[in-house]
Amino acid sequence: MNDDPRGRSRRGGRPASRSGDRARQRNPRSEPADPARRAAFDLLRAVADRDAYANLVLPGLLRERGLTGRDAAFATELGYGTLRAQGTYDAILAACVDRPLEKLDPGVVEVLRLGAHQLLGLRTPPHAAVSATVALCRAAVGPGPAGLVNAVLRKVSAHDLDAWAAELGPARDADPAGHLALRHAHPRWVVSAVADALGAGGRADWDEVEAALAANNAPPRVTLVARPGRAAVDDLVAAGAQAAPYSRVGAILPGGDPGGLSLVRSGAAGVQDEGSQLVTLALADAPLDGPDARWLDMCAGPGGKAALLAGLAGERGAWLVAAEVAPHRARLVAAALGSERAAAPVVADGRAPAWPADTFDRVLVDAPCTGLGALRRRPESRWRREPGDVGRLFDLQRELLLSAIGSARPGGLVAYVTCSPHPGETRGVVAAATADSARSGRPVEPVDARSLFPRVPDLGDGPHVQLWPHRHGTDAMFLALLRRS
């Protein structure tokens, strides 16, 4: 990337000039804080102080500050990019500060991270990045640390990101996971999990691991779903989108706010990753002997997959029960279903079913998970998650899958889905639940799900399907399809 994407100065909205840059370099005290940088700073503080989610906080900040167009895009890239690369920037800043970062004012650390991202992630010219960040420090934190910020960022600007990775991290040949963790800003345990998932029991291809990590740092495209019976892909194309490459109900919005589309505002279409569409379609499309009238979405919140399933069920004369344990999320499910007549949202714990066993023809269990497959959308999450989270979620995931199997009738289908490629949340859970189910007298057999993904390449050896951002442009969704014996 090059410089500030707005291509003009932060102060007056006029095109940047060399003389203007020199003036700001000479006298940073006179430069006011840039509104976009201030919004990014406040975003980082909200994430750090309140454990807020960046994607929920930022839209309100932009509206409150009146930031639109290029200013909004710059604030978004600056905030999200800084959050994604926080671990790497902290390692570099620690090498440039004469005391532990923990000893600094938290606001100063956030200012330094923002400055590091401009220098190393956006490649803003050093004089402009340092000057603007010092001005931000004066406005947001106070004048006292401005000298420190100026001195530290000038040290950071001495190298580009590759050079810092070479200086501070291990050599790739000696320690590929450690090297890639620093170079692509992922915790080491996440790099190892990605390598394990891509290796699938064999040796990892580290070039592909690097491609997967790089894809996690790229902003995702905006993907829309046309909900069956309420809209069609052609309607979205007519509104300016492009048909998605794999999903028959998907479309890509090349730019703009999806909330500006009347189809989205009415609920006839929604924003939904193509991977989520594909795993939902796979369950609906899988061949099934016997009746096909009763469907269950066991963990339906916030309702995206339920809305798609309900539309598909309605086309066939089937009925969907959309269960969600948390009442506030159940309300989101009800909102997503809207006026859909083929579905019923209910508040229910999938582990203690409110329905008889052996009831449903098709069951979806989209289990709670670490979300490591959606790091593109949640910039702060990689630094919040810990390896222990996988173990803590394992029992819940296994119990939900076991209950889903028990809810399906003999011959019925169960789809186990996670938005995580971690083997402990995917193959490990399926293996454990399958064994437990057999012992309880409800054996299942795996269905090779790859044939249910027409036109999607590189699906591996099966029978389960793992999608990837770097291969398919989707979130890293996992699907295991099981049939009750």
Q: What gap in Å lies between CA 159 and CA 80, rounded to an integer?
A: 22
| Structure token pair of residue 107 | 């606001």
Is 454 annotated in a binding site? The answer is no
Q: What are the beta bridge partners of residue 364?
A: 297, 415
Q: Is residue 305 a known part of a binding site? A: yes
CA-based diameter of the chain, in Å?
A: 79
Round to whole Å and give the CA distance between 218 and 477.
17
Q: How far apart are CA 34 and CA 12, in angstroms?
A: 10
**Per the annotation, does 344 bind a ligand?**
no
Is the bond preceding residue 469 a cis peptide, omega within 30 degrees?
no
105 marked ligand binding residue: no
> Could you give the 3-state DSSP secondary structure of residue 26?
helix
419 is catalytic: yes
Question: For residue 358, which of 300, 401, 289, 411 has the smallest C-alpha distance?
Answer: 411
- The answer to whether the annotation marks 314 as part of a ligand binding site is no
Check whether 145 is labelled as a binding-site residue. no
Q: Say which of 96, 137, 369, 419 is annotated catalytic.
A: 419
Answer yes or no: is 431 a known binding residue.
no
Long-range contacts of the stretch 265-269 (C-beta < 8 A, 24+): 267/227, 267/230, 267/307, 267/335, 267/336, 267/338, 268/226, 268/227, 268/230, 268/231, 268/235, 269/224, 269/225, 269/226, 269/227, 269/230, 269/231, 269/235, 269/236
Catalytic (active-site) positions? 419
Q: Which residues does the annotation place in the binding site for S-adenosyl-L-methionine? A: 299-305, 324, 349, 366
Q: Which residues does the annotation place in the binding site? A: 299-305, 324, 349, 366
